[in-house]
């Protein structure tokens, strides 16, 4: 646990002690623990100490058990969303304590009338009184305890949650022990603090609400990072699916009879932003390859594609170009792809199928995909998968 969290838990215990529900009743509790109900005589110092320590242990046992329990539950729900939800709960408790939010049925306290009938006859009864004190708290103090329990739920494992509530118990019990064993004059001075308790409670409520806001704010970055990671994982999965279909696949011919002639008039953009249509190449053989910057085998074969392009550009027998589909199948955006291509010094011409129309018309389902177009403007062959250089040259020779 972080030191600020421990300090906050201890401070919350102090705030609980000085709440309007506890401090005004302190003389009553002290009287029960230090005075014989039969004759009103004060117990010996040793017995007063024993009763007070047993009372405090009763309180602590309940709180530590609560902390361990909620932390165990929190370990099964460990996520930033749970922490943010708990932060909302803490903010609500802070507003309730500060008086900004009012819940009438939570403001009742019936302990004072029953205290007069309680008698402590030994250490065990003092311990049980501490347990009863813990369970009998009204929500006047409950918002503070609830806030710490919400923090404990996000700690996990159970040991840390129990330790956090132990710090809270110490914050409540240390001044309780000190004051209970002090003289009666101390109680008279404490009564003078009663008029300041409402203000202290409001300040404490504001601090608790701030702690809840902090719990929420610290998880925003985590949620954003998880969202980005999930999106990247989805894109990677899509890319992996295409790669599994295309990379390492033996070259095979795809069906071309059902391809619409609309593919010729799809608008494509080169790296300089100029618009082209493949119908411009009618009258001369054309070869173009669909590839992607995310496709490792495609990038590895770029050198071969560039050599083919340069060789046939010099020969003037076949026009060679390539096509990428931005923003799809894990590909970069048009702007990012242009920057990437410039950085990699891609020499083969690249046309960007920005809306994916060309790939849909041709039915591209794997990368790389090679398309061979005759001088009559008709698609002669579509082949999916990498093609060895010798075979590629043979297929290009058939076109010319």
* Residue (of 251, 387, 396, 209) closest to 311 by Cα position: 396
> In this structure, what DSSP letter does residue 253 have?
E
The DSSP bridge pattern shows strands 369-373 and 379-384 to be antiparallel
Model pLDDT for residues 222-235, shown as the tens digit of each residue: 677 767 666 655 55
Give the integer Cα–Cα distance in Å for 34 and 250. Answer: 91
Residue 320, strand partner residues? 287
In this structure, are residues 293 and 323 in contact, taking their beta carbons and an 8 Å threshold?
A: no
Establish whether the linkage from the previous residue to 197 is cis, with ω within 30° of 0. Answer: no
The DSSP bridge pattern shows strands 275-276 and 286-290 to be unpaired
Query: Coil, helix or strand for 237?
Result: helix
Kindly give the interhelix angle for 26-34 and 45-76, rounded to the nearest 10 degrees: 120
Containing H/E element for 288? strand 286-290
pLDDT at 113: 45
Identify the weakest region by mean pLDDT among 144-158, 321-335, 360-374, 381-395.
144-158
- What burial class does residue 114 get, using C-beta atoms within 10 Å of its C-beta: 0-12 exposed, 13-18 middle, 19+ buried? exposed
The number of angstroms, rounded, from the C-alpha of 330 to the middle of its chain's C-alpha atoms is 24
pLDDT at 282: 85
The DSSP bridge pattern shows strands 369-373 and 350-352 to be unpaired
Position with higher pLDDT, 350 vs 136: 350
Position with higher pLDDT, 74 vs 64: 64
The number of angstroms, rounded, from the C-alpha of 252 to the middle of its chain's C-alpha atoms is 45
Average pLDDT over residues 234-248: 49
Model pLDDT for residues 113-167, shown as the tens digit of each residue: 444 445 556 778 778 777 776 665 544 455 566 666 666 665 556 677 777 777 8
Residue 332 pLDDT exceeds 90? yes
Mean pLDDT of the chain: 75
Domains and CATH numbers, the chain: 3-227 (no CATH), 252-399 (3.40.30.10)
- When pLDDT is cut at 50, 70 and 90, the band that residue 393 belongs to is very high
pLDDT at 359: 93
pTM of the predicted protein model: 0.42
For 247-326, where are the alpha helices, taking DSSP H only?
A: 296-300, 302-315
């Amino acid at each position: 646990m972080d030191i600020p969290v421990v300090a906050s838990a201890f401070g919350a215990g102090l705030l609980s002690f000085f709440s309007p529900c506890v401090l005004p009743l302190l003389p009553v509790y002290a009287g029960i623990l230090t005075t014989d109900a039969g004759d009103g005589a004060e117990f010996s110092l040793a017995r007063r100490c024993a009763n007070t320590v047993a009372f405090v242990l009763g309180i602590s046992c309940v709180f530590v058990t609560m902390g361990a329990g909620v932390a165990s539950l929190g370990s099964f729900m460990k996520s930033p969303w749970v922490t943010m939800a708990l932060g909302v709960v803490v903010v609500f408790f802070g507003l309730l304590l500060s008086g900004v939010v009012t819940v009438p049925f939570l403001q009742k306290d019936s302990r004072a009338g029953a205290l007069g009938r309680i008698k402590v006859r030994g250490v065990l009864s003092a311990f049980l009184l501490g347990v009863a004190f813990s369970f009998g708290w009204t929500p006047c103090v409950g918002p503070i305890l609830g806030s710490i329990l919400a923090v404990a739920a996000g700690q996990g494992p159970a040991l840390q949650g129990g330790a956090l509530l132990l710090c809270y118990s110490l914050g409540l019990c240390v001044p309780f022990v000190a004051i209970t064993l002090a003289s009666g004059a101390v109680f008279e001075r404490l009564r003078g603090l009663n008029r300041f308790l409402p203000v202290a409670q409001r300040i404490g409520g504001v601090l608790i609400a701030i702690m809840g806001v902090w719990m929420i704010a610290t998880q925003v970055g985590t949620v954003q990072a998880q969202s980005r990671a999930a999106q990247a994982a989805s894109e990677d999965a899509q890319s992996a699916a295409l790669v599994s279909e295309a990379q390492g696949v033996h070259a095979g011919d795809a069906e071309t009879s059902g391809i619409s002639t609309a593919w010729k008039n799809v608008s494509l953009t080169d790296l300089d932003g100029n618009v082209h249509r493949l119908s411009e190449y009618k009258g001369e053989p054309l070869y173009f390859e669909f590839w992607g910057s995310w496709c490792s085998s495609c990038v590895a074969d770029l050198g071969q594609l560039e050599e083919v392009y340069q060789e046939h550009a010099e020969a003037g027998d076949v026009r060679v170009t390539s096509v990428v589909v931005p923003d799809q199948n894990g590909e970069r955006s048009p702007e990012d792809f242009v920057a990437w291509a410039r950085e990699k010094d891609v020499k083969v011409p690249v046309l960007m199928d920005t809306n994916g129309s060309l790939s849909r018309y041709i039915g591209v389902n794997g990368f790389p995909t090679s398309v061979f177009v005759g001088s009559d403007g008709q698609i002669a062959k579509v082949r999916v998968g990498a093609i060895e250089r010798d075979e590629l040259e043979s297929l290009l020779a058939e076109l010319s």
